[in-house]
Chain A
Amino acid sequence: MKSRLTFLLGCLVLASMQLALAQAGALRVPKTVEAGDALSIQSAGSGKAVLYVVGPGQVLRRNVQLGETTFFAPGVLHNAGHYLVVLVGASSTEDGAFDVTAARPAALSFLAKPSRLPVDLHDGISGVVYVFDAFQNLVLAPSEVSFQLSAIAGAVQTRTALTHNGVAWTKMNSAAKEGAAQFVARVGDAAGTRVIQQVPGNPCHLKMSARPSGQRLAVETEPVRDCSGNALPDGTIVTFRETYDGGESTVDVPLKRGIARTDMPAYGGARISVATGVFIGNEIRWGKER
């Protein structure tokens, strides 16, 4: 095993030193082969020899008859990269080289970021596509990739981009309307789909009202919306704050069905304000001073 490896490495060194000479010699090797295609290597002379094909992650060995053509069936060579060919005969050694290039695009890896973002954000969504052939080789030849972002409401955005070294990317705007958008990247017959959740942005309209509720005060917001008119999702915290002579009460209430409501102590002359996050809504003054 050790001697075989030493021999192989020796052949590789020899091959790299005499590449030009070998190409001009009796070993006829194609310059490039597409991944998955058949390959034939023609040798000259007579007698028996051993043919080695050494490539990325793959070594092939064939016992050949010099002067004949050695065939490699389709699918045997599937890793893209630079390959060395070494023909070891009884009295001489020939070598050559060829490249295996990626086949036509057949698959893609699609990275879409972020998966959740506020509505109405310019260039807020980025899509990056890596194009691969059927053997998972990165396709370095330029390929046209189409990107399409479609939401339930709103216009469909479409972009096309050429791959550069196997990668294409684009940026899209989020729609003004909340909801899930389908982000599709397509190259040839291959396509990838990602879901982008477009969520309401910062609150823009926050208004509350108060009414007596027994001995207490019932405060309630109107539906809370962002600047595009989208209702903020349930669970968003709304803070009610009541200040009165020397005292204060606060309640953090989650929106439920678009509205936040709670009970607070009823103090005459109390000032009640409402806020969510850093956005402040209206303020009301309750009743008369005690």
Chain B
Amino acid sequence: MSSIGRLLAVVIAVATVALIVVGTLWPIQSAIAMAGSGANLLRPSSSPQAAVEILASEIGQRAWETAYSSLANKNEFTESEFVRDLTGTYSSLRTYATLDRFDSRPLHASGDEAQIQLKLRWSTVVGTFLDTRTLRVVRTGDRWSVLWPIVKEPRVPPQVIPVNYLRWDVIYRGPEDDWGSQDVEAPHVRIVDMHPVDRSGGVVIMGELLNEDVVPAFVTVKATLLAKNGSAIATEDSFDKISHVLLPKQVTPFLIAFPNVALSEVDSVHMQPSASLIAASADPVIGIEDQHFNPAPGASLSGKLVNQSGQVVSVAHVLGTFYDKSGQLVWVADQFVDRALLPQIPVPFAMSLPADIAGKVTSERAITTTYSSGRFQ
């Protein structure tokens, strides 16, 4: 082995040992959360931020008992209320979420008290959601403890809520039927608006789809970008930027993104809406109240969802369609609501949209789709 090779081997070995030491002594908080135990030992709560980070890592490990016992205001609520605050009382996105990472930011500090903003980023099957809490941290002896701002989920008193349940079921033709036999007709859907735009180095196709039939439809929209010579550049579908279940005469927006495709390369777009019959329910009815368009900076559409039915909704998906002053569609945004919707209990939502788009928006429309666990749709 040459001297250069030996030197390189030594350098690599030293660097590895150094990185292990650095990672052990000053680990990043996400790594602590992912690593499991040991966070308390690594960072004793000798400072307000350390206390918050330890608490956050315990939440990430679902070490509820330890986290609860470290709180300064645990006499104000029970451990199960603390757990329900974070995971939800009823089955919802929170119930199945895992803590992806967290960030803490000191807002204010004095000798015995500090205020720290904690951002918990939870990961779910439909993406991430952010839970931001402003925490008061107080000194108790030589340690700091967090005062947890409990959010008690409202409870609905036990009751019977009568519902005129409306539902469609479908019976398809059987395999033994003659080939000329009828089958149930697929729902008729129509694209009523379509608008391609060049955006962030890619092409975005937005539009609206109408179920013009009298039966519910499961819909998807696929788009193929065609070059001048007729060849296909790319094909994508709307995935979750659409309400897949459309009841009769219902309209959904859709958004299809083609990253890394320039609009100048596109000669035409081939749209393929498809619809199939599904069994569906017309309930629950969700009202979207107090919608406000909040202009840039931090442009968003906020509002409250009100479940007008008797069924607890586990997951609500809000889709916003934004129009300019000429009525042209300029953007489609969406948000999954992380808390369950209880009957008549408003749940806030806020979906953000790009600042440059926000300046063009003069009107908007929002729709919701829902999923209720433990109950057929």
Q: Please list the residues of chain A having a beta carbon within 8 angstroms of any beta carbon in chain B.
A: 109-112, 114-117, 130, 192, 194-195, 199-200, 202-203, 232-238, 241, 246-254, 256-257, 262-265, 276-278
Contacts and interface: CB of A to CB of B under 8 A. Distances in A.
A234 B214 CA distance: 9
B291 A250 contact: yes
Please classify the interface of chain B as helix (H, G, I), strand (E, B), loop, or mixed, using the class held by over half of its residues. Answer: loop
Contacts of A110: 180
A33 B293 CA distance: 81
A277 B249 contact: yes
B3 interface: no
Interface of B: 164, 166, 168, 178-180, 182-185, 192, 210-216, 247-251, 282-283, 285-292, 303, 308, 364-368
Contacts of B366: 250
21 contacts: A109-B180, A115-B184, A116-B184, A116-B185, A200-B214, A232-B249, A234-B166, A235-B168, A236-B247, A237-B249, A247-B292, A249-B290, A250-B367, A251-B285, A252-B285, A254-B166, A254-B247, A254-B282, A254-B283, A263-B308, A276-B249
Nearest to A114: B185
B182 A249 contact: no
A277 B182 contact: no
Contact of B289 (A115, A116, A202, A249): A249
A45 to B, nearest CB: 49
B247 A251 contact: no
A195 B183 CA distance: 10
Given A109-B179, A110-B180, A278-B192, A249 B247 contact: no
Given A249-B289, A252-B367, A264-B289, A233 B179 contact: no
Nearest to A192: B180
Contacts of B285: 251-254, 262
A236 B214 contact: yes
A253 B179 CA distance: 39
Given A115-B183, A236-B248, A248 B291 contact: yes
Given A115-B184, A256-B166, 9 more contacts: A116-B214, A199-B213, A238-B249, A251-B287, A252-B286, A252-B368, A254-B247, A254-B283, A263-B287
Contacts of A252: 247, 250, 285-286, 367-368
Contacts of A277: 210-212, 249-251
Contacts of B213: 116, 199
B167 to A, nearest CB: 9
Residue in A117, A195, A235 with the greatest tally of chain B CB atoms within 10 Å: A235
Nearest to B280: A235
Contacts of A234: 166, 282
Contacts of A114: 185
Contacts of B308: 251, 262-263
B214 A199 contact: yes
B289 A235 contact: no
A130 B214 contact: no
A34 B180 CA distance: 26
A247 B290 contact: yes
A202 B184 contact: no
B288 A251 contact: yes
B287 A249 contact: yes
Contact of B248 (A109, A117, A235): A235
Contacts of B368: 252
A147 to B, nearest CB: 14
A173 to B, nearest CB: 18
B182 A194 contact: yes
A200 to B, nearest CB: 7
A262 B185 contact: no
A265 B182 contact: no
A112 B182 contact: yes
Given A250-B365, A250-B366, A236 B249 contact: yes
